[in-house]
Amino acid sequence: MKVIVAGCGKVGATIVEQLRSEGHEIAVIDTQNEVIDRITNTYDVIGVVGNAASCGVQKEAGVEDADLLIAVTNYDEVNMLCCLVAKKAGDCKTIARVRNPVYNQEILFIKDELGLSMVVNPELSVAREISRILRSPNAINIETFSRGKIELTEFIIPEGCLLDGMSIMDVRRRIQPNMIICGVERGDEVVIPNGAFVLRSNDIINFVAAPNDAKQFFIAIGLDALRIKDVMIAGGGTIAYYLTGMLSGFGMNVKIIEKDKKKCMKLTEVNATIINGDATDQELLIEEGIENVDAFVSLTGMDEANIFLSLTARELNPSAKTVTKSNHRSFVSIIGKLNMDAMVYPKDMTAESIVRYVRAMQNGMGSNVETLYKIIRGKVEALEFIIRKDTEIKDVPLSELPIKSNLLIAAIYRRGSVIYPDGQTELKEGDRVVVITTVTGIDDIKDIIEEV
């Protein structure tokens, strides 16, 4: 597909990187020469310097032949205008990043009137992700399939946990959970485990389960005691605004610490206690009761400050769940050594949601991927497919299919029920199938079969 990306900041660069790795033809537009030079030198893409809302600039980038334009400049209004121009100049699909909460209240109207194919709101997406994590506090990340009927949950096996020293086969035999462990990260090693694989404390495991089955699994291994009632948030930006509304809706008490008085005034609209102060001041944290909260969320504008704040929270309140925002995956290797709780990456979440949409667009162009997540530091893909009438591998026991190595069929959603497949399970028309793999280039369910 031919895709134009307007705006090459952190999010735009991540989108370019992911779409280029999938083989798409990319053109980028930005007002800054040095930004275009950096992107074009790093990736094999076409670069145009100029105002992305200009019809002439878009035509120079090839909008008349483009399949999709993605507008992710720093300004909502520019993004919406870019998409309107693209619809008139090239009649392509359009995606706009729209972040302002004022626009979010009218987003369906805006999307309909401007003919937008998709609207992405990184702050809202991050808030939803953090909300899911705080409602399931044992998890460090949760992704959803089949409209939320299946979840991919990531968590760290704590010291002394029942799972420590158990093989995957032992887990199935002794705990008999309704779930499938589909990925394990141990140091720098990433494994899609077989039955003989032995779990250890501090392993980061990913498992697929229905939401209630995930809850029952945590109960079975003795990790269901934690309940979030009181939450402290450092940083009062847009994510905090969205998140507070969600958490208060679940009956949680929220306290926000923000040093910018103007932001504090905007936050008076939400149901929270607002403290005008510097969250990096340890005495202030203690004074405001950090030692008694159930969760601490670091949402300041600086990654380093967020990491420092979460480590401080862990020191002052070891039992509190911490969630840390970061815009740089480059910190991952360091963070892994610090034994942090949950991390959220806004720009990656935005890029992945757009990649999922692009994959969906390809359904009519040879790809049948419904949902895509990159997990375990981007080394593993979690994909969802729908089994069609003409799918060649349906109605055959999985044990009889030559399925590729490093690939696992983790779950099937069929007529309202989640199925955890074994060798006798057959794929049926209408099934939604979740596949976990380190193999790249899986565009169709038939691609899971080893070529003979």
Residues in Cβ contact with 50 at an 8 Å cutoff, skipping those fewer than 6 apart:
29, 31, 56, 57, 60
Q: What is the pLDDT of residue 336?
A: 59
- Give the chain's mean pLDDT: 89
Q: What is the pLDDT of residue 339?
A: 65
Q: Per-residue pLDDT tens for 181-216?
A: 999 998 888 889 989 999 999 999 999 999 889 988
| pLDDT of residue 35 exceeding 50 | yes
What stretch(es) of the chain map to CATH 3.40.50.720? 2-120, 230-344
| pLDDT of residue 328 exceeding 50 | yes
Q: What is the pLDDT of residue 187?
A: 84
Tokens of 341: 């709780």
Q: What is the pLDDT of residue 337?
A: 64
CATH architecture classification, 349-448: 2-Layer Sandwich (3.30)
pLDDT over 70 percentage in the chain: 95
Residues in Cβ contact with 395 at an 8 Å cutoff, skipping those fewer than 6 apart:
426, 427, 428
User: What is the average pLDDT across 421-430?
Assistant: 92
Residues in Cβ contact with 37 at an 8 Å cutoff, skipping those fewer than 6 apart:
47
Q: What is the pLDDT of residue 364?
A: 46
Angle at 182 between CA 177 and CA 184, to 5 degrees: 110
CATH top-level class for 230-344? alpha beta
| pLDDT of residue 417 exceeding 70 | yes
Give every strand in the sheet of 273-276, ordered side by side.
273-276, 253-258, 230-234, 295-298, 321-325, 342-344
Model-level pTM?
0.77
Of the listed ranges 90-99, 217-226, 229-238, 249-258, the least confidently predicted one is 217-226
User: What is the average pLDDT across 374-398?
Assistant: 86
Q: Per-residue pLDDT tens for 304-325?
A: 999 999 999 999 999 899 999 9
User: What is the average pLDDT across 112-119?
Assistant: 88
What stretch(es) of the chain map to CATH 3.30.70.1450? 349-448
| pLDDT of residue 219 exceeding 80 | yes
Of the listed ranges 39-48, 227-236, 333-342, the least confidently predicted one is 333-342
Q: What is the pLDDT of residue 365?
A: 47
| pLDDT of residue 368 exceeding 90 | no
Write down the CATH superfamily of domain 2-120: NAD(P)-binding Rossmann-like Domain (3.40.50.720)
